[in-house]
């Protein structure tokens, strides 16, 4: 196993596609399409990296990011922000919240995989 990755996105089709592709690449994948349980999934599942959508019903990705980074159990986990919002203020907000990287939707899977490999060293 190359590492454990949590995918947090309310679009279940995206979650399923990423799960299949990442598992094929040798990663273990934790999936979550419900923002209300996403932080707990990360606490219990202890992923090596999180791919986090920003526009989600309930808690926004920004709120999830604040919780993850504010918790000693999850604060050091690298987070790749994944969103259709590709504005300078969104990039700045991601930097303020200590996102490790940012990818704009729609993206090519290979681009996301490259970012994951860069962060996990593989």
Condensed to tens digits (0 to 9), the pLDDT of residues 45-95 reads 999 999 999 999 999 999 999 999 999 999 999 999 998 877 888 888 989
Residue 90 pLDDT: 85
The domain spans of the chain are: 4-120
Alpha-carbon distance of 61 to 13, in angstroms, equals: 18
- 8 Å CB contact between 94 and 102: yes
For the entire predicted model, the pTM comes to 0.95
Query: SS3 of 72, please?
Result: coil
Structure tokens at 100: 């490790």
**What digits encode the pLDDT tens for the residues 90-100?**
888 989 999 99
Residue 22 pLDDT: 98
The CA R_g of the chain, rounded to the nearest whole Å, is 13
Domain 4-120: give its CATH code: 3.40.50.2300
pLDDT confidence band for 44 (50 / 70 / 90):
very high
pLDDT confidence band for 20 (50 / 70 / 90):
very high
Torsion of CA 120, 93, 38, 113, to 10 degrees: -30
Given a cut of 80, is residue 1 above it in pLDDT?
no
């Amino acid at each position: 196993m190359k590492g454990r990755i949590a995918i947090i996105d309310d679009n279940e089709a995206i979650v399923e596609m990423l799960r299949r592709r990442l598992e094929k690449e040798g990663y273990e994948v934790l999936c979550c399409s419900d923002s209300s349980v996403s932080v707990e999934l990360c606490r219990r599942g202890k992923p090596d990296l999180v791919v986090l959508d920003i526009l989600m019903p309930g808690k926004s990705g920004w709120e999830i990011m604040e919780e993850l980074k504010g918790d000693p159990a999850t604060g050091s986990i690298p987070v790749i922000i994944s969103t259709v919002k590709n504005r300078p203020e969104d990039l700045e907000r991601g930097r303020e919240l200590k996102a490790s990287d940012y990818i704009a939707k729609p993206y090519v899977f290979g681009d996301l995989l490259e970012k994951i490999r860069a962060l996990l060293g593989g």
